[in-house]
Structure 1
């Protein structure tokens, strides 16, 4: 009987020892520490993006030659300097400026509404900068952005998902039923600026030509929203930080 007790005691001791060792291994092993550091999916994704030299945001500002020396230059010399990424100004074919980082879009003029300019700008951003930034912003040259708040907002959102961020619109009362929108559809109003995640831009840009062939209204922001909804499957996400104010220069974020 004493021999049996000794055997049982031996195995119990062996079992408890193995359990204790396993706990210590989990607690102090490098793998466990790494797992704790990357427990937040957004932080883990952003850590990987930083390792791959991917910046936060690329801002594309639509402008025209008549505004190069006024609106565009003011944007570039104020909040444009503090963008947590990069900023480019997009204008018509054959445009030139030595004061702002300008991209002249081939086959695009300065006619209004700027539907083609807007969509071709997004295509250019996709073709040249997709793998360099997490977010992409379409902005007008009369908008004012708070880069610090913009950065704070975007760093709290997972850019790997499809996002279409801005001030939600459905048209005014006079346009009700005339925008070819279903009762549950909306768009991001262009005035305060529109932000697309890299995944959204990746899904939309290859179909820009299709969107330009199927325009239902004269509103650039409505048609951009329609294009995003059709090919990225996402509508405008309301952000209280993106709002249009009753002032000469509009403010976003």
Structure 2
């Protein structure tokens, strides 16, 4: 009862302060009040996006990479998805990872691994999640930025019950998204993809009988058969959100290979968006350092909220 009374008193105090600010006709106080309310509304919106936008992530890996690359994902960004599956060339119950039915064994056969994984997700998870994110085991995903991109009000609206497909846009081979940079499908896009795969529509374009091949380009062709094409994935300044290379490569932008200038639909440049979603070619060590920089060093910004007192030395005047 005592705890309940304290809580009630605290809440009443907050409400009275808010009422006083609202009643005060002082422009300064009213401006401060509006600023606080906007901040609270924005924080509430961000929290809603993170909790209500449901994303299943799957990582394509192999047995030999489980304890290195896949483990680094498991220790960093993987748990931030609502569910993360590790798709391998063998079943491993201790990691755990598994090989979906139909996937050819071995490190290769990437198209087989991707195609049958999406079919597995359709069968088992279609109605449990809004979005389905594919990543390689050297891809780093900033999951909060991914959910922010998918969940915020935008034009066009990114509703999961409409067919959407997002990633780093390459303009060759009819247009597709980079597999290494990761891509995400809405559940409606997954449903329509399953219709193409199950009914073997346009086999010359969507090669459902093949096991290997250029996985990301073939997926783009299969989605195109369903009438689904890549969506807009640039920030308000025209910068990519999905990246084909690691952070310092993208940040300085002065070492891109020649093929990248030919493939990238968005002209390569230096700098990274504050809303960046993915990086690629991430060594396990670099992945862990990146994660530390984002989530640990970033905690410096929250120190104003900590209950600390000033060292007495600094409360006195010193020469």
Output the TM-score relative to the length of structure 1. 0.66
Matched, 1:144 2:133: no
The one of 186, 194, 206 aligned to 1:197: 186
Q: Alignment RMSD, CA only?
A: 2.6
Q: Which residue of 1 aligns with 2:116?
A: 120
Q: Which residue of 2 aligns with 1:86?
A: 83
- Would the aligned equivalents of 1:187 and 1:222 in 2 still touch at CA under 8 Å? yes
- Would the aligned equivalents of 1:167 and 1:189 in 2 still touch at CA under 8 Å? yes
Higher relative contact order (CA 8 A, sep 6+): 1
- Offset at 1:79? 0.5
Output the TM-score relative to the length of structure 2. 0.53
- Deviation string 1:186-206 (CA, Å, 9 cap, x unpaired) is 101101101000100001123
Say which SS state the counterpart of residue 122 (structure 1) adopts.
helix
Matched, 1:187 2:176: yes
Unaligned runs of 5+ in 2: 1-44, 153-157, 201-205, 234-239, 250-280, 288-319
Q: Which moved more, 1:242-251 or 1:185-194?
A: 242-251
C-alpha distance in 1 between matches for 2:92 and 2:68 = 15
- Offset at 1:107? 3.1
Q: Which has the higher strand share?
A: 1
- Would the aligned equivalents of 1:189 and 1:221 in 2 still touch at CA under 8 Å? yes
C-alpha distance in 2 between matches for 1:167 and 1:55 = 21
Say which SS state the counterpart of residue 220 (structure 2) adopts.
helix
- Offset at 1:113? 4.6
Q: Which moved more, 1:104-113 or 1:160-169?
A: 104-113
Q: Which residue of 2 aligns with 1:11?
A: none
**In 2 relative to 1, CA 154–55 (structure 1 residues): closer, same or farther, beyond 3 Å?**
closer
C-alpha distance in 1 between matches for 2:225 and 2:73 = 32
Q: Which residue of 2 aligns with 1:15?
A: none
Q: Which has the larger radius of gyration?
A: 1
Say which SS state the counterpart of residue 201 (structure 1) adopts.
helix
After superposition, where does 1:197-236 map in structure 2 within 5 Å? 197-208=186-197, 210=200, 211-213=206-208, 218-231=213-226, 233-236=227-230
Q: Which residue of 1 aligns with 2:100?
A: 105
Unaligned runs of 5+ in 1: 1-42, 172-180
The one of 56, 59, 64 aligned to 1:58: 56
- Would the aligned equivalents of 2:167 and 2:184 in 1 still touch at CA under 8 Å? yes
